[in-house]
Amino acid sequence: MPLNLELKARVESLGRIREIAQRAGAEERVTVRQTDTYFKVNRGRLKLREIDGREAELISYERGEEEQARWSRYEKTPAAEPSRLRTMLCAAIGELVTVRKTRELLLLEGNRIHLDTVEGLGTFIEFEIPAEEEEPARIHMDRLRSLFGISPSDVLLHSYSDMLLGALKGSSKVGSPKGEGA
């Protein structure tokens, strides 16, 4: 399974973050609209990612939730018929929550920087550092945190799906995230 070191932080201004990235030499790759449908699972997380104008993917992953920079192991597979697959998975195991976002992808020294605007939540930066060895990935993460001025109080320990579930808690459409792979 591929391995990433990830960190997500709330930011007030994506414009300021873009300026820092541009000065550092980051390459702008693409801006996309993504819809991630999360499903109820017993272990890890399972989501169907639909991207406007691109092939959808089914993604399963496991990630530690205790540290600010977290290790994530994941698997992806193309989803040729996402609407049908979503319907089947919802019927078989149940939908947990849907996250809609606009994501700008930047690359800096082989590291992915996501500038996310998430419906109902706000604006965020996310770093994904592909890792074969832990120590070089941690060094890259520390450098990115410093470069973009990410303080410990900015860092989020929860996924967008967890945050949306928290915001929707009490709604008849959403169950408790405990034990459901939120």
Tell me how many degrees the CA angle 122-126-127 measures, rounded to the nearest 5.
Answer: 170
**Assigned domain for 181 exists:** no
pTM of the predicted protein model: 0.85
**Predicted local distance difference test score (pLDDT) of residue 172:** 36
Q: How far is CA 143 from CA 107, 146, 173, in A?
A: 14, 5, 41
Q: Give the CATH number, domain containing residue 135.
A: 2.40.320.10
**Predicted local distance difference test score (pLDDT) of residue 68:** 79
Number of domains in the chain: 1
Contact 99, 158 (CB under 8 A): no
**Predicted local distance difference test score (pLDDT) of residue 133:** 84
**Predicted local distance difference test score (pLDDT) of residue 65:** 66
**Predicted local distance difference test score (pLDDT) of residue 175:** 35
**Predicted local distance difference test score (pLDDT) of residue 170:** 45
Whole-angstrom distance, CA of residue 102 vs CA of residue 143? 25
**Assigned domain for 178 exists:** no
**Assigned domain for 174 exists:** no
- What are the residue ranges in the chain where pLDDT is below 50? 170-182
**Domain extent for 126:** 3-168
**Assigned domain for 103 exists:** yes
Average pLDDT, the chain: 89
**Predicted local distance difference test score (pLDDT) of residue 80:** 92
**Assigned domain for 173 exists:** no
**Assigned domain for 151 exists:** yes
Q: How does pLDDT run across 103-128, given as a tens digit for each residue?
A: 999 999 999 999 999 999 999 999 99
Contact 9, 150 (CB under 8 A): yes
**Predicted local distance difference test score (pLDDT) of residue 72:** 86
Which amino acid makes up residue 168? L
